[in-house]
């Protein structure tokens, strides 16, 4: 697998209170699992969920899947205990909900150091408050700060709809400026970005359209709420055979001795520059990483 490339086409949420889902997740062909202690878990079930998640994570069995624990915010009665328990269990990442500014991530990063967390433990950040949208560039820039260890940002479109009163309509016109702002923030900070969830999980056509929109926007993948969304999501976010063949073709063309000193060439009637070859190498690397996984 190419160093640094980790496919994150799909990230399936599951409530930590649902023991059946935590077990079933071990059999699902999904890139990332988000074991949730936050909004999918009612207050009375928070402690049970924390115990179940930590036992599941520590027990292993999730193979290549990236295991992420979404904790409650530090301002809630559960946040501190969630963080300490998650660090002990040892997931791949901790997802911080309702991040407003870099300070929220810096505070957690300091606590990770105090708790003696492994250097491999990463932070993911939910982008789901109006403040996060206004501070998106600064939050994304945490990707450049090794102390903060930010590796991915996740759009929380349900909370964004709640907080802003914007409507989640087909095509998501009202959300587009925020989604694209966060894509730019993620790229500037060198971290991945995952699109929000599609609540109507029985609506396959609507879901496929929203996946296609996510790909067009430059998202690395999409967050999911039900296993039946995984295949459609992977079909959208995996490079197609045509994209892989084209990527190989333009790289081979630039490798020809006669093109060694050229910045732009013609391939099948199209102008291609070295930046396209670079983009193509990423496509190939993602495809190889997916193939190595399966």
Q: Catalogue the long-range contacts made by 211-214 (C-beta closer than 8 Å, 24 or more residues apart).
A: 211/235, 211/236, 211/237, 212/236, 213/171, 213/172
- Considering only residues 114 through 133, tell me which ones interact with Mg ion, judged by CB under 5 A: 128
Beta-carbon count within 10 A of 208 CB: 16
Q: Which does 197 bind (CB under 5 to 8 A by kind): Mg ion, ligand LIB3CWND, none?
A: ligand LIB3CWND
Q: Are 273 and 253 in contact (CB under 8 A)?
A: no
Asked if 36 interacts with ligand LIB3CWND (CB under 6 A), we say yes
Closer residue to ligand LIB3CWND in complex, CB, 13/254:
13
Q: Half-sphere exposure of 179 toward its Cβ, with a 13 Å CA cutoff?
A: 27
Residue from 15, 140, 156, 189 binding Mg ion (CB under 5 A): 156
Asked if 14 interacts with ligand LIB3CWND (CB under 6 A), we say yes
Q: Are 251 and 280 in contact (CB under 8 A)?
A: yes
The conformation of residue 17, written as its DSSP 8-state character, comes to T
Closer residue to ligand LIB3CWND in complex, CB, 21/290:
21
**How is 182-208 classified by DSSP, letter by letter?**
HHHHHHHHT-EEEE---S-TT-HHHHH
Residue from 2, 19, 39, 145 binding ligand LIB3CWND (CB under 6 A): 39
Asked if 36 interacts with Mg ion (CB under 5 A), we say no
Q: Are 237 and 9 in contact (CB under 8 A)?
A: yes
Asked if 156 interacts with ligand LIB3CWND (CB under 6 A), we say yes
Which residue(s) pair with 273 in the sheet?
Answer: 264
Closer residue to ligand LIB3CWND in complex, CB, 126/148:
126
Greatest CA separation for the chain: 69
Asked if 16 interacts with ligand LIB3CWND (CB under 6 A), we say no
Choices 72-80, 154-162, 241-249, 263-271; region in contact with ligand LIB3CWND by CB under 6 A: 154-162
Residue from 128, 192, 195, 220 binding ligand LIB3CWND (CB under 6 A): 128
Which residue(s) pair with 221 in the sheet?
Answer: 194
Task: Pick the closest to residue 82 from 92, 95, 101 (CA basis).
Answer: 95
Asked if 164 interacts with ligand LIB3CWND (CB under 6 A), we say no
Asked if 32 interacts with ligand LIB3CWND (CB under 6 A), we say no
Choices 69-77, 105-113, 129-137, 154-162; region in contact with Mg ion by CB under 5 A: 154-162
The C-alpha angle with vertex 268 and arms to 267 and 270, in degrees rounded to 5, equals 65
Q: Which does 196 bind (CB under 5 to 8 A by kind): Mg ion, ligand LIB3CWND, none?
A: ligand LIB3CWND
**Angle subtended by helix axes 204-217 and 176-189, to nearest 10:** 50
CB of 113 to ligand LIB3CWND, least distance (A): 26
Q: Are 125 and 103 in contact (CB under 8 A)?
A: no
Interacting residue ranges for ligand LIB3CWND, rule: CB under 6 A: 12-15, 20-21, 24-25, 36, 39-40, 126, 128, 156-159, 196-197, 225-227
């Amino acid at each position: 697998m190419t160093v640094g490339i980790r496919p994150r086409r799909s990230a399936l949420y599951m409530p930590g209170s649902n023991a059946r889902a935590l077990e079933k997740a071990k059999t699902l062909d999904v890139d990332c699992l988000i074991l949730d202690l936050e909004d999918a878990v009612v207050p009375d079930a928070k402690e049970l969920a924390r115990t179940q998640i930590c036992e599941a994570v520590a027990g292993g069995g999730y193979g290549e899947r990236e295991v992420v624990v979404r904790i409650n915010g530090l301002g809630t009665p559960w946040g501190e205990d969630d963080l300490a328990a998650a660090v002990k269990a040892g997931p791949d990442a901790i997802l911080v909900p309702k991040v407003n500014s870099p300070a929220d991530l810096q505070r957690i990063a300091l606590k990770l150091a105090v708790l003696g967390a492994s250097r491999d433990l990463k932070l993911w950040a939910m982008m789901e408050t109006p403040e996060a949208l206004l501070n998106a560039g600064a939050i994304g820039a945490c990707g450049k700060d090794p102390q903060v260890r930010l590796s991915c940002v996740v759009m929380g479109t349900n909370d964004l709809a709640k907080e802003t009163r914007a409507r989640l309509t087909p095509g998501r016109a009202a959300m587009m400026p925020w989604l694209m702002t966060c894509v730019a923030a993620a790229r500037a900070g060198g971290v991945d970005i995952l699109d929000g969830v599609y609540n109507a999980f029985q609506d396959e056509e609507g879901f496929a359209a929203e996946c296609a929109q996510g790909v067009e926007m430059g998202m690395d993948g999409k967050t999911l709420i039900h296993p039946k969304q995984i295949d459609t999501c992977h079909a959208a976010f995996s490079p197609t055979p045509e994209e892989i063949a084209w990527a190989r073709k333009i790289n081979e063309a630039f490798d020809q001795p006669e093109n060694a000193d050229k910045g732009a060439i013609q391939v099948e009637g199209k102008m291609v520059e070295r930046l396209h070859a670079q983009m193509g190498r990423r496509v190939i690397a993602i495809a190889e990483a997916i193939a190595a996984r399966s």
